[in-house]
Amino acid sequence: MEGKEEDVRVGASKFSERQPIGTSAQDKDYKEPPPAPLFEPGELKSWSFYRAGIAEFMATFLFLYITLLTVMGVVKANSKCTTVGIQGIAWAFGGMIFALVYCTAGISGGHINPAVTFGLFLARKLSLTRAIFYMIMQCLGAICGAGVVKGFQKGLYESNGGGANVVQPGYTKGDALGAEIVGTFVLVYTVFSATDAKRNARDSHVPLLAPLPIGFAVFLVHLATIPITGTSINPARSFGAAVIYNKHHAWKDHVSVLYDLKIRNFDIHPI
């Protein structure tokens, strides 16, 4: 019996790197990285900086291309029973985020969303230089992705809303704004949690594939808010679709604050 107790004691010492889930797991060493500088001009001379921007462009391009084609396939059907429906649209958005974050995380961080980029900038995870560059490339990618979809089937695209985000009948602009704020918070909160290096160091025994919870969060938010706004939670997604669709009502809800200020009295109208 004494020999068995000794074996247990030696085994516990031998495998001391195993940490239980809970507060004792916080004893692992972790060094917080320094905040990113506000301006980092040296980045402009680095190829990795431009490679990351290209990755963001391509990821947002593919994101809009696949998701808007899915939306078009649903809205053109006479019977929703013959299509993937709202659940399929939500899976398309969530699945593409999962795949694209997985592909680009090692190159650019896999933002694919100006809201995510802005949140990480506020947390000092990247410089203002890189944040602005990412946002520009994301918006350009979204415009190109929506443009390719329109090029495939222009008539269908224009007659079925072009995948643009608008407030749906039965909801107010306040409802839509609230839904988008909460949905965007869920996404950004999930991104911060899934990519938290301190958590990974503390709970390294718990395997976590960061793109999975991020994509699943996008899926769940779309299930909840597609009936309200069509779901954006991504300014580049809304901007790209609105630019290519380019109809008055597609812009009206985006600039509703300007309308409330009666900008129309000065004969200023969205495109």
Residues 92-151 pLDDT 10s: 999 999 999 999 999 999 999 999 999 999 998 899 999 999 999 999 999 999 999 999
pLDDT tens track for 168-185: 899 988 899 999 999 999
For the residues 153-173, what does the mean pLDDT come to? 86
Rg (the chain; Cα; Å): 23
pLDDT above 60: residue 259: no
Please answer whether residues 186 and 115 qualify as being in contact, where contact means their C-beta atoms are separated by less than 8 angstroms: no
- What are the b/e assignments for 108-129, b being 16+ CB within 10 Å? bbbbbbbbbbbbbbeeebbbeb
Of residues 144, 138, 99, the one with CA closest to residue 234: 138
- Each domain of the chain, given as residue ranges in start order, spans 42-266
pLDDT digit string, tens, across residues 46-103: 899 999 999 999 999 999 999 999 998 888 777 666 778 889 999 999 999 999 999 9
Is 90 or 207 the better-scoring residue by pLDDT? 90
Helices 128-152, 114-122: axis angle to 10 degrees equals 170
User: Residue 187 in contact with residue 217, Cβ under 8 Å?
Assistant: yes
The answer to whether residue 25 scores a pLDDT higher than 50 is: no
Long-range CB contacts (< 8 A, 24+ apart) of 205-213? 205/18, 205/19, 205/21, 205/25, 206/21, 209/102, 210/101, 210/105, 211/97, 211/98, 211/99, 211/101, 211/102, 211/105, 211/110, 212/98
Q: 8: which 2 tokens?
A: 């247990």
The answer to whether the beta carbons of residues 115 and 185 sit under 8 Å apart is no
Q: How many CB atoms lie within 10 A of CB 226?
A: 17
Distance separating alpha carbons of residues 166 and 92, to the nearest angstrom: 19
Flag whether pLDDT at 206 surpasses 70: no
**Ramachandran quadrant class, 199 (left: phi over 0; alpha: psi -120 to 50; beta: rest):** alpha
Q: Hey, what are 60's tokens?
A: 């947002």
The Cα-based distances of 103 to 108, 141, 192, 206, 237 in angstroms read 10, 16, 18, 22, 19
Q: Tell me the average pLDDT across 226-232.
A: 91
What is the mean predicted confidence (pLDDT) over 235-255?
Answer: 83
pLDDT in tens, 26-42: 445 667 777 788 888 88
pLDDT for residue 8 is more than 50? no
Distant-in-sequence, close-in-space partners of 87: CB < 8 Å, separation ≥ 6 = 223
pLDDT score, position 260: 46
Higher pLDDT, 173 or 21: 173
Decide which of 1.20.272.10, 3.30.420.40, 1.20.1080.10, 3.90.78.10 is the CATH code for 42-266: 1.20.1080.10
Q: What is the pLDDT of residue 216?
A: 95
This prediction's pTM: 0.80
